[in-house]
Structure 1
Amino acid sequence: MAPLHLNPTSFLLLASILLFLFFIIKPKLKSKLPSINLPPGPKPLPLIGNLHQLGDQPHLALHRLSCTYGPIFRLTLGFIPTVVVSSAKLAREVMCTHDLALASRPQLQSARSLFYGCTDMVFAPYGPYWRHVRKICILDLLSQRRVDLFAPVRAAEVKCMISRIATAAAEGKAMNLSKILGLYANGVLGRSAFGKDFYGGGDYDRHGFQEMLEEYQVLLGGFSIGDFFPGMEWVGAITGTNARLEKTFQRFDKFFDEIIEEHMQKRRKGRILEEGKDLVDVLLDVKESDGLEMPLTMDNVKAVVLDMFAAGTDTAFITLDWGMTELLMNPEALKQAQKEVRGIVDILFGDFF
């Protein structure tokens, strides 16, 4: 997928608009801002603030700034004041001591567009709805019993993954482990969430699901003008960002409509056994149950399903990928891991291999 960027014409237009707004808004902001004891930080430039200091590797830039300004410092990202913490002690203050005050995520333009107005669990603001969805996820979707019911799916996908690796090794071919691990994660999530196999061919290729996920990741992690310059979301219509967001949303929405309709048809034919239910079945059960303090809409169901799939694929295979990288860089640890795996694999997967 093409990364998000501004072409020269769009950039000049944006710069002109920002410069105009700067000279209009700055005097008003100065007169309204209260005196606040802010953390130290680098002096922001007009219009862009400290955006120029982040570069293409923000995590490294933030580390360098923390070495200069300490474990808590401030930045201005466009028009958005931002506080950065980079020590275990302060992280504990943010994540534990003051977690309720800081629980909500920024509702980015991309998140609002892709997650049905931020009605998923990740981007929904902290409040009654978020607590309700979190309760559903913990008690219904991610309970120990539900995880145990999907054990055969995980075991079968591990078997497929090992078979791919063994075939490539027997043929003396180089293998892209990242791709193989990604296919494993997609396979587990596809069968657990939708009851479908999303490997190459069939539904996977028919929907272009991998392409959709890649575009989703680019858009969600990309630069949207309105996130840093509130009120200027319309600039995305010039840069093409808004059109890409709408196109990707429509593709996901159509896909979810088809999946949900297939599940509804099965439900109309008769009761589905508990062990045969996937995450969509469980969410439809919750939606149709009586006595909910806050009934779910079909868009809420879609938003939560997208959470489960989109968040689960990347985190799973990236963790596995880095774990394998660390083992390859530490031969002694690799030998110990191989010994432990070989000692228990027959016990855990004897019925599958």
Structure 2
Amino acid sequence: MALLDSYWPLFLTIVLLVLLKYYFFIFAKKPTKPGFNLPPSPPKLPIIGNLHQLGNNPHISLRNLAKTYGPIFYLDLGQIPTVIISSARLAKEALKTHDLPFASRPRLTAAKYLFYNCTDMGFSPYGAYWRYIRKICELELLSAKRVQYFAFVREEEVSRLVRRLAEPYPGTLNLSKMIRLYANDVVCRVSFGRDFSGGEDFDQKGFQKLLDEYQELLEGLSVGDFFPSVESIVLSLTGMKSRLVHTFNQLCKFLGNKPSVVLSGL
């Protein structure tokens, strides 16, 4: 949660904004909502809920909480209600037996800006539209015929990866960066039909650097992901909105798309 630590001063601002918007509901006595049988939950703080209990190593913090509250427990991550499962049996129940209610991914702030308002296959909600774009992806990219057709691309990129790994010897190298570069090369050649890291014109224009920025934005979490009611204000205060819009527009220029229609609703 290093990202949250860097934005920690903004939580004071967020607290004030939420209090101003929902002060009546915060200070008024809320009626008990019947019908909810929630799992056990650790004590939480006003506004931020259980965010402070995640720390810099969320996986370790969640493991420690599971030891106290059991294999399934409930957390309020800011304004986001979250159920944590740390049991293989319960995970099977959620991901296989009752998979449809849990099939959709959360609408992350970065995904809304970088993936056409979450209309891609990875972040669009489960339904008829998702099944349709998955069918297109399977036919055009993942069918046995297409996978076999692009075998030469994978072979060439593996050979290029081996050469890259051998170049710095006996020095050191960043293996994660090399593998990420290999994955990007395969995806770009298969999806766009162009080699963006082989020294061509696109490489000179910084496409690889743009992909790295794209992935960095997707890997991180925005404070707005935990406080949707003040998301736009938080994005503006942190400068994240301008960064997301700039990265999205740059990628659209490379791919020849028009970004204005997509971002007009955000």
Give the TM-score range, shorter chain: 0.7 to 0.9
Q: What's the offset of the Cα at 1:166? A: 3.7
Matching residue of 2:209: 211
Match in the other structure for 1:318: none
By how many angstroms is 1:110 displaced?
Answer: 1.7
Q: Distance in 2 between matches of 1:51 and 1:96?
A: 29
1:6 matched to 2:4? The reply is no
Counterparts of 2:47 and 2:207 in 1: how far apart (Å)? 39
Is the contact made by 1:48 and 1:79 (CA closer than 8 Å) also made in structure 2?
yes
SS in 2 for 1:104: coil
Q: What residue ranges of structure 1 are gaps of 5+ in the alignment?
A: 261-297, 300-353
Match of 2:89 in 1: 89
CA RMSD of aligned residues (A): 2.6
Report the CA distance shift for 1:50/1:117 in structure 2 as closer, same or farther (over 3 A). Answer: same
Tell me what 1:189 maps to.
Answer: 187
Q: How big is the shift at 1:101? A: 1.2
Alignment of 1:283-294 (within 5 A): none
**What residue number does 2:120 align with?**
120
For residue 247 of structure 1, report the CA deviation from its aligned partner.
1.1
Contact kept, 8 Å, 1:191 with 1:197, in 2: the verdict is yes
**Per-residue deviation, 1:164:** 3.1
Paired amino acid for 1:257: G
Aligned 1:16-165 pairs, distance under 5 A? 16-21=16-21, 23-27=23-27, 30-31=30-31, 33-165=33-165
SS of the aligned residue for 2:256 comes to: helix
For 2:33 and 2:209, locate their aligned partners in 1 and report how far apart those are by CA, in whole Å: 45
Q: Give the Å deviation of 1:182.
A: 2.7
Which residue of structure 2 lines up, in the alignment, with residue 243 of structure 1? 242
Measured after TM superposition, the shift of residue 252 of structure 1 is: 1.5
Identity of aligned residues (%): 51
What is the CA-CA distance between 1:20 and the residue it aligns to?
A: 3.5
Pair 135,180 (structure 1): closer, same or farther in 2 beyond 3 Å: same
CA distance in 2, matches of 1:62, 1:127: 31
Asked if the contact 2:19–2:26 (Cα under 8 Å) also holds between the matched residues in 1, the reply is: no
C-alpha change, 1:21 and 1:29, in structure 2 (3 Å) is farther
| Offset, 1:11 | 4.7
How far has the Cα of 1:95 moved from its partner? 0.6
CA contact (8 A) 1:53 1:61 kept: yes
Q: Determine the C-alpha separation between the residues in 1 that align with 2:114 and 2:204.
A: 21
Deviations 1:113-162 (A, max 9, x none): 11111110111111110010111112222111111111111111222222
CA shift at 1:29, angstroms?
Answer: 7.9
Structure-2 separation of matches of 1:137 and 1:155: 22
Task: Supply the distance in 2 between the matched residues of 1:33 and 1:80 (Cα, whole angstroms).
Answer: 17
CA offset at residue 100 of structure 1?
0.8
The change in CA–CA distance for 1:70 and 1:191 in structure 2 (over 3 A counts) is same
The DSSP-based 3-state class of the residue aligned with 2:84 is strand
* 1:13 counterpart letter in structure 2: T
SS at structure 1 position matched to 2:197: coil
Q: List gaps (5 residues or longer) in structure 2.
A: none
The code of the aligned residue for 2:152 comes to P
Cα offset for 1:194? 1.6
8 Å Cα contact 1:110-1:219 kept in structure 2: yes
Contact 1:7 1:239 in 2 (8 A): no
Distance (Å, rounded) in 1 between the aligned partners of 2:204 and 2:76:
44
Matched to 1:158, the amino acid is V
**Letter in structure 1 aligned against 2:222:** S
